Structure 1
Amino acid sequence: MKKRVLATIIAFSLAPSAFAQDKPKPFTMEGELGFISTTGNTETTSINAGITAHQELEMWSNDYLIEGLYKEETVEGDDGEDVEFTSAQKFFASAQGNYKLDNPDNRLFGFASFEDDRLSNFNYQATLALGWNQKVLQNERHTLEYSIGPGYSFVETQDGEDQDSVIVRASTAYTWLISDTSKFTQTLSTEVGSENTKSRAESALTAVITGNLSMRLSFKMDHNSDVAENRDNLDTETAVSLVYNFF
């Protein structure tokens, strides 16, 4: 199955026209939706969805992200009855504004995020950060930028304990236009605090199917250094989704 999906994406990447642009658009937005349903000894329903937007103005370069994951499973209990339970329920939103200086590749950024993961060690995790952003690479095929600066993390555990702390936040974002119809993106971020170090990473390969519709294969990792004994430090998510480019 994995080989078939990969072969499909590679085939789409060789098709004509799509990601290459003569001039950057002032506003872009795309929506992503993935759905998986399985039956048999274990019945599962999994939905992942997201919206990503980018705004490029004369003095500002802004990024917005909203994403969610829901997974429900049905298994047969010891008494022969079906038992339904939710195995994943996550919501994440973030926004970053980059104010351009005299050299537009050098910016001052402001960042905010909120995460509600019902089955993690935390009721919620929220972050505010300010600092320096720089675009260190930009050509026809590659773009790379990083951000680093101080911030504050607002955290409440499942036990109701507050773990608010001063943090240092660092992140990178890389895009490689493999061809006119395919691209690879990689994002990394880490928030280092006295109570916890929270890190996120996503690798994604996107290929155009037709017009504004694309297919995306992605792999995400969420890591928290300080969790309860019955919780895992690392959560991963592998998804194949359809992506629609609205603008």
Structure 2
Amino acid sequence: MSRLYMADNSSNPSDSGENVKPFTMDGEFGLIKTTGNTETTSIKATLSAHQELEQWSNDYIVESLYKQDEVDSDDGQITKTTAQKVFVSGQGNYKLTDPNHRIFAFASYEDDRFSGYQYQGTLATGWGQQVWKNDTSSFNYSVGPGYSFAKTEEGEDASGFIVRGAMDYQWKISPTATFRQLISTEIGSDNTKSKSETSVAAKINGSLALKVSLLLNHNSDVVEGNENLDTQTAVTLVYTFF
């Protein structure tokens, strides 16, 4: 197993204005353990919530990834942590006179031990728009200025002003299957951080779904020895609490 943030886990695009729930929350979990010639343990967990109010549309995400591998050393095989990441984000969207036009405020924090950074955080605000939403699909985007707080593994400050853009496209393939594409980018003078998640979720029953996803994380500026692009492929179960 190897997971935009984009802070916009909106309700199902098939929901009409009358059927939109004021609050929804999903929990996502995946566990892979292999034994034999290769010993690995991978755990992926995500909690996402969407709040739809008269004047606000808000999204919250907490996600984590942990992986251990058995590797060869001079003392034989040892257990080594090869992935450890925690990410949290929140976005509030204030609806204007036309509720499809919005002013957004976004905040995120990421602690990824293997990214080359001690931490990366973002504050941004700007313009958002729900371009369309009908029974089969929806599309919205947001763009605006912000500030990135970051520190490299060497202790160097990598903070600076950025321009943040994000988009969310959903397509209801069938009554039980949904395709989703999330993309975000934070463009700064020292580093451009981009994230893409492509997923397909299929309902097993009313509250449980099976999700297959591909996540791409890219930093344009990384320390020597680190890759610019990280990829994660996951098959997870998603449970809808509300």
Alignment of 1:141-156 (within 5 A): 141-156=136-151
Structure 1 match to 2:40: 44
CA distance in 2, matches of 1:138, 1:187: 16
Alignment of 1:1-247 (within 5 A): 20-21=14-15, 23-79=19-75, 81-247=76-242
In the alignment, structure 2 segments of 5+ residues that lack a partner are 1-11
The answer (yes or no) to whether the contact 1:41–1:76 under 8 Å persists in 2 is no
CA distance in 1, matches of 2:44, 2:127: 32
In the alignment, structure 1 segments of 5+ residues that lack a partner are 1-17
The answer (yes or no) to whether the contact 2:15–2:135 under 8 Å persists in 1 is no
The answer (yes or no) to whether the contact 1:167–1:192 under 8 Å persists in 2 is yes
Structure 2 match to 1:5: none
SS of equivalent residue, structure 2 residue 178: strand
TM-score (norm 1): 0.90
- Post-superposition offset of 1:86: 0.3
- Post-superposition offset of 1:229: 1.6
Q: Give the structure with the higher percent helix.
A: 1
CA distance in 1, matches of 2:15, 2:138: 14
List per-residue Cα deviations over 1:15-40 (Å, max 9, x = no partner).
Answer: xxx98545111111000000001112
Q: Supply the AA of the counterpart residue of 2:209.
A: S
Q: Aligned in 2, Cα 1:40/1:76: closer, same or farther, shift over 3 Å?
A: farther
CA distance in 2, matches of 1:37, 1:153: 36
Q: Supply the AA of the counterpart residue of 1:150.
A: P
- Post-superposition offset of 1:120: 1.3
- Post-superposition offset of 1:211: 2.4
- Post-superposition offset of 1:178: 1.1
- Post-superposition offset of 1:76: 3.4
The answer (yes or no) to whether the contact 2:30–2:235 under 8 Å persists in 1 is yes
Percent of aligned pairs with the same amino acid: 55
- Post-superposition offset of 1:41: 2.3
- Post-superposition offset of 1:136: 0.6
The answer (yes or no) to whether the contact 2:26–2:239 under 8 Å persists in 1 is yes
TM-score (norm 2): 0.92
CA distance in 2, matches of 1:21, 1:59: 18
The answer (yes or no) to whether the contact 1:111–1:130 under 8 Å persists in 2 is yes
CA distance in 1, matches of 2:140, 2:69: 40
CA distance in 2, matches of 1:229, 1:210: 47
Please give the root-mean-square deviation of Cα atoms over the aligned residues, in Å.
1.3
CA distance in 1, matches of 2:146, 2:137: 29
List per-residue Cα deviations over 1:119-163 (Å, max 9, x = no partner).
Answer: 111000000001000011111111100000000000000000001
Q: Aligned in 2, Cα 1:139/1:21: closer, same or farther, shift over 3 Å?
A: closer
SS of equivalent residue, structure 1 residue 162: coil
Instruction: Provide runs of 4+ in structure 1 moved above 6 Å.
Output: none
The answer (yes or no) to whether the contact 1:20–1:181 under 8 Å persists in 2 is no
